[in-house]
A and B are shown apart, each in its own frame.
Chain A
Amino acid sequence: MASITPVKMPKWGLSMVEGKVTGWLKQEGDAVTAGEELFEVETSKITNVGEATQDGVLRRIVAQLDDTLPVGALMAVMAEDSVADSDIDAFIADFNANFVVEDADGGEGGLQTREVDAGGVRINAAFAGEGQDATPIVFIHGFGGDTENWTLAMGAFAGERPVYALDLPGHGKSEKTIADPAPAALAKTVLAALDALGVSRAHLVGHSMGGAVALASALAAPDRAASLTLVCSAGLPGSFVSKEYVDGFIAASRARDMQKVAERLFADPAFATKELAENLARSKRIDGVEDALGALRRMMFETPALAELAGAVGGVKAPLLAVWGDRDQVVSAPDKAALPASATRVRIDGAGHMPQIEKADAFNAALKAHIGANA
């Protein structure tokens, strides 16, 4: 049955958990070539067209018009004409028997949010899986990001331990004023947020500029970091942030300009959906965000803060995992020779700057192995 392939509900944008089928553009029995438009799906944000990913015959439509399905669910089956109907029936039954919704807690309902006072700074935290005994994971996004960058990773771990993602100051639903953009100051806010959330010790995971914040947190409070995972991170030896990207992000005010900037985040530019661009443009229009991003830009390019962190990485006590995408266009890969000898290094192939989204399975596996080895 190798020639049978599923057509699955796509994931467009970081917050999509389900989609409604609003149109089939091909009929059962139609021959389809890769790239041809196959179906139309409506999300809470927009309606878009899904294309066939390979050649074949659309043998069976499983999702009917107006059906709402979770991301990854079976919409249709493609196969050659020679494949027997009974094999297709068996394939569908098998797929549905093994299908699990990506978010372990059943969609958006599993993710909750809470606002905490982190030393006088209002910080928004997304969380799931509270009440479990295992050491929590705390995720920290990068420049221009938010808690939604971690949706897939949180879903993968929420079934085994509490998971938290923070919106840094100036981002997401947190306070927009950044009093001091230095990583050490942001780390202080992160640690205060963890105090308020009742998290005394955690596996810290930071992405990009948020990696620098996670690194600064682990240096400031060694007892509180069970492990440290730095993803496409700034503040490591040899990891340089693209000024062109940051300036482009700051300059783009229209959603269509933002889409071009966002394409640089991924190896496959198709991940930079119109919805993602619209959400990024919307987040930038909130009062205070422009100033906050400007302050972070100055910190990254006009102060030695990141270089100083890179020089201090040898002082990290927690087990360190450095992850990067081989096609990252925003932050260059760390200089292996300058990382501590004990550090684990994982390169994710086919990923750009957002491996936790673009290659979620590979990223989650690397994180699981690191946490498992340092539980």
Chain B
Amino acid sequence: MPKKSYRQAINEAIRQEMRRDPNVIVLGEDVAGGQGSSGGPGKVGSVFGVLAGLYDEFGADRVLDTPITESAIIGTAGGAAMTGLRPIAEIMFADFVGVCFDQIYNQAAKFRYMFGGRAKTPLVIRTTIGAGFRAGAQHSQTLHPLFTMVPGLKVVMPANAYDAKGLMIEAIRDDDPVVFLESKLLYDSDGEVPDEPYRVPFGEANVLREGKDVTVIGTGFMVARAAQVAAELAKSGIQCEVIDPRTTSPFDEDTLIESVQKTGRLVVVDESPPRCGLAADISSIVAEKAFKALKAPIRKVTCPHTPVPFAPNLEDEYMPNPRRIEAAIREVLAA
């Protein structure tokens, strides 16, 4: 099977859906790009190059460069979705959603509910998340808990190239607003990706590795880190079961609970601050539904309650790293 990068997989998903359905459009800052440059329009394809080539194939009517105003991007896209288009709006960095958050949580997320099901909002909001990119406190956050807590939004965090393509196709065909969170550090990672269009359903976790000693769950870039630690620990006979929920809303509780029933131990790895975050949410689900199975207290491995530091050594320590993940696993095993 052909190997493709996470970036290529997302590009291919959008391209194939744009060919299949003329209602699919793309809009955002520099999604065509290159205006006024010597290369001319279409030469950028968004800040990380995910949309490269789409302007050349689909033209300015379907690949729309917008002014630098996130509220207009999401407002336009939400309205267009209600009229029957299937817009894919890009916010360069998730850190910027503050200025358009009304359009997301108070408008797009509520249309179907408030119009009694008579309005659909088939909108995809693509944005990038994650530290480790040396981009400072305002371009490095991982804000999935912010979206996950809003009823009416679906929240997708692809952790590999195969999932990225299938989840993007599922997101585009979904009739509700979907926030699609791309991990910056995964763009160059590659994997086997079928050429044909395919869907990966929302709310179905991926069990990367089966094991009986401890359940380790993480999302996005943290999945690779958890798997890396699990592979190391396997050499000394510690069997971790590694779970990637793929989507934080809907969330596959069944797979997680079944796993904890088997292992009796849980480590939640999450790249976001600890308070009111996904790790706390997952811990509460397990505490409520599988408390009796637990042989040790749940351990969370998260970022500290601080902005993302710019100093590289501090940034590396800020993110959940293999050393901290391993320590947490050993701690729950010792309890």
Residues of A within 8 A of B (CB): 22-25, 37, 40, 42, 46-49, 65, 176, 253-256, 274, 282, 285-288
Contact = CB atoms under 8 A, between A and B. Distances in A.
A22 B234 contact: yes
B207 A274 contact: yes
Contacts of A274: 207, 210
Interface stretch (B74-82, B116-124, B138-146, B197-205): B197-205
A228 B211 CA distance: 45
Contacts of A23: 234-237, 239
A148 to B, nearest CB: 12
Interface in B220-244: 231, 234-237, 239
B231 A47 contact: yes
Closest 9 CB pairs of A and B: A286-B198, A23-B234, A287-B197, A285-B198, A47-B209, A22-B234, A285-B199, A286-B196, A40-B234
Nearest to B204: A254
A37 B234 CA distance: 13
Interface residues of B, number: 22
A140 B200 CA distance: 28
A65 B231 contact: no
Contacts of B231: 22, 42, 47
A65 B255 CA distance: 30
Nearest to B237: A25
B245 interface: no
B235 A46 contact: no
Contact of B255 (A46, A256, A288): A256
A254 B235 contact: no
A46 B201 contact: no
Nearest to A40: B234
Contacts of A288: 196
A71 to B, nearest CB: 19
Nearest to A49: B239
23 contacts: A22-B234, A23-B235, A23-B236, A23-B237, A24-B237, A37-B212, A37-B239, A42-B231, A47-B231, A47-B234, A48-B210, A49-B211, A49-B212, A65-B235, A253-B204, A254-B204, A255-B204, A256-B255, A282-B194, A282-B198, A285-B199, A286-B196, A287-B198
A285 B210 contact: no
Contacts of A47: 209-210, 231, 234
Contact of B194 (A24, A25, A42, A286): A286
B137 interface: no
B208 interface: yes
Interface string B61-81: 000000000000000000000
B242 to A, nearest CB: 9
Nearest to A66: B235
A285 B234 contact: no
Contacts of B208: 46
Contacts of A65: 235
A328 B196 CA distance: 33
Q: Binding site of A, secondary structure by majority: helix, strand, loop or mixed?
A: mixed
Nearest to B234: A23
A272 to B, nearest CB: 14
A176 B212 CA distance: 39
Contacts of A37: 212, 239
B166 interface: yes
B198 A254 contact: no
Nearest to A255: B204
Contacts of B196: 176, 286-288
Contacts of A40: 234, 239
A203 to B, nearest CB: 29
Contacts of A176: 196
A49 B204 CA distance: 23
Contacts of A22: 231, 234-235
A141 to B, nearest CB: 18
A332 B236 CA distance: 48
Given A47-B209, A176-B196, A286-B196, A254 B201 contact: yes
Nearest to A47: B209
Q: Among A22, A24, A47, A282, which residue has the most Cβ atoms of chain B within 10 A? A: A47
B235 A285 contact: no
Contact of A285 (B166, B211, B212, B236): B166
Interface string B267-296: 000000000000000000000000000000
B238 to A, nearest CB: 9
Nearest to B201: A253
A46 B199 contact: no
Contacts of B194: 282, 286
Given A40-B239, A46-B208, A47-B209, A286 B234 contact: no
Q: In this complex, which of A23, A46, A253, A288 has the most chain B Cβ atoms within 10 angstroms of its Cβ?
A: A23
A337 B38 CA distance: 80
A49 B197 CA distance: 33
A48 B235 CA distance: 13
Given A47-B231, A48-B210, A285-B200, 18 more contacts: A23-B235, A23-B236, A23-B237, A25-B237, A37-B212, A40-B239, A47-B209, A47-B210, A47-B234, A49-B211, A49-B239, A65-B235, A254-B201, A274-B207, A282-B198, A285-B198, A287-B196, A287-B197
A46 B198 contact: no
Nearest to B166: A285
Contacts of B209: 46-47
Contacts of A256: 255
Give the one of A176, A274, A287 with max B CB within 10 A: A287
Contacts of B255: 256
A48 B234 CA distance: 10
A254 to B, nearest CB: 5
A59 B194 CA distance: 44
A24 B239 CA distance: 11
Contacts of A24: 237
Nearest to A253: B201
A46 B209 CA distance: 6
B326 to A, nearest CB: 15
Contacts of B201: 253-254, 285
A82 to B, nearest CB: 28
B196 to A, nearest CB: 5
Contacts of B207: 274
Contacts of A282: 194, 198
A288 B199 CA distance: 11
